Amino acid sequence: MLDIDRVTFPAGRVSAIRGVKGAGKSTLARIIAGLQACGGTVSMGDRSLSRKRRLRQSAIVMQDVQRQLFTESVMAEIELADTGATNAPDLREVLSALGLTDLSQRHPLALSGGQQQRLVVAACVAGRRIVVFGEPSSGVDRRHLTSIAEEIRAVAAGAVVLLISDDEYRLALAADAELTLCALD
């Protein structure tokens, strides 16, 4: 159970959520993204956002990304994610930045774990206002950690971005601020 009086996550910055197992990191992320009901209020600016509205405006990159791959090719995943929003980045450029261009016709489940992780990151950047990254670089080599951190920062230019991680290196690359949750005894 979470007991948070008030917390603010500003758009344009990457806010890390840290804490021991069971402290409520995933619960907080699910509430913010509209996947879980809460007894409080979630607002963006001065406007309260219903759970349904948060669901439409949010994206989550889970640690187990295979649950987020649905199509027959990498390019089809990108096309599925394209919302057509005017503030959405060029997804082909995102594919290139994440080193996935040459894999565009491969089946997503035929990719390595790190490639799948990068694909889901690429697919989630399509014009969402709230983006939650739950350990977005697990299984990714150090070279691609930097490109994922750059994409996370690019997403933050137009969204509220939450990064759930306790990895100091990942946080140093991407996070601007941190919220540490403590387990209630």
**Residues 69-95: tens digit of each pLDDT:** 899 999 888 888 766 666 566 777 878
- Tell me, yes or no, whether 130 lies in a domain: yes
Distance CA 177, CA 185 (A): 26
The two three-digit tokens of residue 22, written as one number? 């069971």
The pTM of this model reads: 0.80
Model pLDDT, residue 122: 78
**Which residues, including other chains, have CB under 8 Å from residue 43's CB and lie 6 or more apart?**
49
Number of domains in the chain: 1
The two three-digit tokens of residue 17, written as one number? 């959520």
Range of the domain at 81: 14-181
- Tell me, yes or no, whether 7 lies in a domain: no
Closest by CA to 136, choosing from 38, 16, 43, is 16
- Tell me, yes or no, whether 6 lies in a domain: no
- Helices and strands of the chain, counted as H and E runs: 7, 7
The two three-digit tokens of residue 169, written as one number? 């290196």
CATH number at residue 168: 3.40.50.300
* Residue that is written with structure tokens 């907080």 in the block: 28
Distance CA 31, CA 47 (A): 16
Distance CA 104, CA 66 (A): 17
Low-confidence stretches of the chain (pLDDT beneath 70): 1, 82-89, 125-126, 136-141, 185
